[in-house]
Amino acid sequence: IGAHTTREQALPVDLPVYVSGTIAEAKQANFVSFSARSGANYRFRVLARDCGSPLDATLAVLDADGKQLVQMDDVGQDRDPVLAWKAPADGQFVVSISDFHHQGGERFAYLLQLEERKPDFSANVASDLLTTSVGKELEIVVNVARELDYTGIIRVSIEGLPSSVSCPAVESTHGTDSAAKVTLKLTGSEPFQGPLNIVASSDVEATTRTRQAGTSDHKPIWLSITP
* Vertex 213 angle, CA 73 and 175, to 5°: 90
Contacts of 7 (CB under 8 A, 6+ apart): 31, 62, 66, 94, 96
Confidence of residue 205 (pLDDT cuts 50, 70, 90): confident
| Phi and psi, residue 194, nearest 5° | 175, 170
Contacts of 154 (CB under 8 A, 6+ apart): 121, 123, 144, 171, 172, 200, 201, 202
pLDDT at 90 over 90: yes
Sign of CA dihedral 131, 133, 134, 135: negative
Is the distance from CB of 188 to CB of 134 less than 8 angstroms? yes
- pLDDT digit string, tens, across residues 59-81: 999 999 999 999 998 766 668 99
Position 128 scores a pLDDT of 96
- pLDDT digit string, tens, across residues 4-50: 999 999 999 999 999 999 999 999 999 999 999 999 999 999 999 99
Position 57 scores a pLDDT of 96
Identity (one letter) of the amino acid at 110? Y
Confidence of residue 2 (pLDDT cuts 50, 70, 90): low
Position 169 scores a pLDDT of 98
Full-model pTM: 0.72
- pLDDT digit string, tens, across residues 142-189: 999 999 989 999 999 999 999 999 999 999 999 999 999 999 999 999
Position 218 scores a pLDDT of 84
Confidence of residue 1 (pLDDT cuts 50, 70, 90): low
Position 77 scores a pLDDT of 61
- C-alpha 38/C-alpha 55 separation (Å) is 32
Confidence of residue 3 (pLDDT cuts 50, 70, 90): confident
- C-alpha 186/C-alpha 189 separation (Å) is 10
Percent above pLDDT 90 for the chain: 91
Domains observed in the chain: 7-117 (2.60.120.380), 120-226 (2.60.40.10)
Q: Largest alpha-carbon pair distance within the chain?
A: 69
Q: Are strands 82-86 and 222-226 parallel, antiparallel or unpaired?
A: unpaired
Instruction: Say if residue 205 is exposed, middle or buried (CB neighbours under 10 Å; 0-12, 13-18, 19+).
Output: exposed
Residue range 127-138: mean pLDDT, rounded: 98
Position 217 scores a pLDDT of 84
Give 3-state DSSP helix, strand, coil % of the chain, rounded to 5: 5, 55, 45
- pLDDT digit string, tens, across residues 100-116: 999 999 999 999 999 99
- C-alpha 52/C-alpha 219 separation (Å) is 21
Identity (one letter) of the amino acid at 224? S
pLDDT at 221 over 70: yes
